[in-house]
A and B are shown apart, each in its own frame.
Chain A
Amino acid sequence: EAGVAQSPRYKIIEKRQSVAFWCNPISGHATLYWYQQILGQGPKLLIQFQNNGVVDDSQLPKDRFSAERLKGVDSTLKIQPAKLEDSAVYLCASSPGRGAYEQYFGPGTRLTVT
């Protein structure tokens, strides 16, 4: 079974530029998560999708971050414009569905904003 795929693995941009990350979850997994992991911290949930609907985006800085999950499969996370404090690893995870399922994580995208 293929795992969660993410691309790119690394990205370096200047502040005020825009960037997009892509995630392909495990086949059949209905729930998809985006996390931000700042160096030295645990992952923090940014947004959660159930199929193609948003379940929780309370921690997403909506003035600069956006995410979509068209057709309930792949997802993209965008930052526009980026700030220095957005430097982090962005992790995508998926789970089979709602309710106490463990989450399966992708390798992450390391973003550096200069």
Chain B
Amino acid sequence: AQSVTQPDIHITVSEGASLELRCNYSYGATPYLFWYVQSPGQGLQLLLKYFSGDTLVQGIKGFEAEFKRSQSSFNLRKPSVHWSDAAEYFCAVGHYNTDKLIFGTGTRLQVFP
């Protein structure tokens, strides 16, 4: 069965520091992968997605993610974090044959000035 694991429940970084949020998936075929961000009291906003092709994908707000098939990972990165990046981040996996998204449990990012 499809599943998504986000090993880090809570991450704290200083403003200006680099960031990497981990995501591992379990799926038999090539998955479609997504990262969403959720600010307090808000819905989820799509940061980036991977369907095929270049394994390094660029998203909004300066985020990028790299698909590594050998490690079943799709980690999210940002070179320099801003205080406004503090939010909850969700990794999700889907497949072209279904429209269902399976979400991870999320990583809460806290940014210190």
Residues of A within 8 A of B (CB): 4, 31, 33, 40-45, 48, 55-56, 91, 93, 95, 98-108, 110
Contacts and interface: CB of A to CB of B under 8 A. Distances in A.
A88 to B, nearest CB: 14
B43 A102 contact: no
A83 to B, nearest CB: 22
A106 B43 CA distance: 5
B44 A43 contact: yes
22 contacts: A4-B43, A31-B99, A41-B106, A42-B4, A42-B90, A42-B104, A42-B105, A43-B44, A43-B90, A48-B100, A55-B99, A91-B43, A99-B96, A99-B99, A100-B94, A101-B99, A102-B49, A103-B101, A106-B43, A107-B41, A107-B42, A108-B42
Contacts, number: 58
A42 B106 contact: yes
Contacts of A95: 99
B contact residues, range: 20 to 34
Interface in B31-59: 32, 34, 36, 41-46, 49, 51
A110 B34 CA distance: 24
Given A95-B99, A100-B32, A105 B105 contact: no
Contact of B103 (A40, A44, A100): A44
Q: Lowest 3 A-B CB distances belong to which pairs?
A: A42-B103, A105-B43, A105-B44
